[in-house]
Amino acid sequence: MAHYKDVKIGDEVWIKEPSHIYAKVTGVRQGDAELPLEERRWKIEIRPSTQFLLPGDFELIHPPTDPDAPHKYLSKEWTEELAAFRDSATRYLANNADETAMTRTQESLRKLGFIKPK
């Protein structure tokens, strides 16, 4: 669960109380801006209505990530995949009949961002 200090206007949230629904943070209630963060009520847009909730009544959600998205360039995952690519490409170049090495090489190239998934 994200901390209330992480809440920003435009964030999507999952409301825990009074019921489990999704909404969007659109601002801070007028007059609450000078209160300590934990006492501010946030303006939450729930179509077609708007409610004012304490940060303990909702939590931040993050959009799902694309499982086919390539690793971030030069990240730990990217450099590990580069090593896997070198290994599988070397195996494939040594034996062009090695379909496992060919498949693994193509998968590495996709994860590295050099080819797009089908």
Q: Is the pLDDT of residue 45 over 70?
A: yes
Rounded Cα gap, residues 102 and 41, in angstroms: 56
54: containing domain = 4-60
- Gyration radius of the chain's alpha carbons: 23
Same-domain status, 56 and 87: no
pLDDT reported for residue 63 = 67
Same-domain status, 88 and 51: no
Same-domain status, 53 and 10: yes
pLDDT reported for residue 100 = 94
pLDDT reported for residue 2 = 54
69 lies in some domain:
no
70 lies in some domain:
no
Mean pLDDT, range 23-38, rounded to an integer: 85
Same-domain status, 23 and 54: yes
- The residue ranking higher by pLDDT, 18 or 27, is 27
Q: Is the pLDDT of residue 20 over 80?
A: no
Residue-averaged pLDDT of the chain? 82
The structural domain count of the chain equals 2
Same-domain status, 15 and 55: yes
Q: Which CATH number belongs to the domain containing residue 8 in this structure?
A: 2.30.30
Question: Which of 24-33, 55-64, 79-88, 109-118 has the lowest average pLDDT?
Answer: 55-64
Same-domain status, 101 and 55: no
